[in-house]
Amino acid sequence: MHAGPTMLDVFERNFDTAARYVEAAAGVIANIKACNAVYEMAFPVDIRGEVVTLRGYRAEHSHHRTPTKGGIRFAPDVDLDEVKALAALMTFKCAMVNVPFGGAKGGIAINPRDYTVEELERITRRYTVELTRKGFIGPAVDVPAPDMGTGSREMAWIADTYAMMNPGELNALACVTGKPLAQGGIRGRDAATGRGVQFALREALRYVEIQRQTGLSSKTAGLRVVVQGFGNVGGHFARLAEADGMRIVGIGEWDCTVANPAGLDVQALLAWRRERGSIKDFPGGVTRDRDAFLDLDCDVLVPAALQNQLDEATAARVKARLVVEGANGPTTFTGDAVFQERGVVVVPDIYANAGGVTVSYFEWIKNLSHMRFGRMARRVGIRTQLRMVQGVEQLTGQVFPPDVVEDMRSGAGEEELVDSGLEDTMVQGMEEIMAVRREHPDMPDLRTAAFVCGLQKVALAYGERGVWP
């Protein structure tokens, strides 16, 4: 896209806008804005017989709640300002959806495609050693998670390394989330951020104010949606949105855009990419240049790729009336200004993509409790449902369909319970944003309302702990 302000610049601009609506002393606001602790490291790793020095980072933005929480990304352009900005966004994201963590973020400046699996394992484990030595990881200290360029595999390496360095620690698996199921993970985590975006889109359209501004109804079925980014977030969102009756008319990726006004077959497109490593030349759509997704006629745009994608120039090209941010910081403040002028509603990242950290919270709780969700109550729920069915059948003389009864016998599994908790979180989050927006009619957008929600909670938490004199 286009060069522009850094993520830290964008965060600070959004923070300052929101701070004008929060009643707190200037010194308190300044302290909340600042990043609390940063660890920048240079560590050696043996790569193909040569010692290579890599640069890594971990930023803990706020300790108003502990532990801190945030992903680890492997990307060549990771730097100190980026992880500080992402850590700050995590602080307000967690506060926004009432997850009791402070914000953190980390990364290593590498392109993971340049390394073998064995080399990535060596790099990841050495990075974990550095974090452990400096006290930047631990179930009660700082809990990483997957981000760009990392996944459950890397989280398993981190958990194993931490456990080896802390023998006898009962809660060692809770040092990181996003792990494989066999190593303390939780069902539903892989799709969590994409499902959260789906819920955010649905919840936004429940409000009359947003319906009027966008010209859309509360029905999501039939919506024409363009997704930028077909990775973990964009891929899962597109799959779930299609299953919900939406029409995915375009997918923008790093090398091209694939479009079809009649709707893409998302499952077929996912299979095509798995086989070829790219969505290019997919037979179910037309392949165009990488920025062509901006010009596609649609109702909703979901940017789910990199930061700073929608600036003054690119935002002006967007045809959608509703933008739901699946990525971290995809819109710059100049892009926001264009959307406000055009009347485009933006559902901000600190709410829309909070599904990942919400389900990470559930995984952390599962690891600390050493028990999967539903283990104690599931059978009670099944028996209660079946008794209700028997009672209704006796009173009415009608028999429930066998498939319905059989479904009740299964009960709610872990993934269903996780999805239920995520849905409730997203519903409540949107309610809080709209309540703040209604309280301040002069507020420019939903992003400011979301930041105000988060900032008020962080300031209140500091006051509760007696941090302020």
- Catalytic residue positions? 105
d(CA 9, CA 329): 11
CA dihedral for 161, 38, 145, 377, sign (positive or negative): positive
d(CA 299, CA 221): 12
Sheet containing 37-47, strands listed edge to edge, beginning at the edge strand earlier in sequence: 37-47, 50-60, 102-108, 68-74, 142-146
Cα dist. 447→87, 195, 334, 350 in Å? Answer: 17, 20, 14, 8
d(CA 239, CA 265): 9
d(CA 344, CA 300): 10
DSSP codes, 227-265: EE--SHHHHHHHHHHHHTT-EEEEEE-SS-EEE-TT---
Closest CA to 329 of 129, 113, 73, 120: 73
d(CA 363, CA 383): 27
Pair of tokens at residue 177? 């989330």
**What secondary structure letter does DSSP report for 205?**
T
Pair of tokens at residue 405? 């009864």
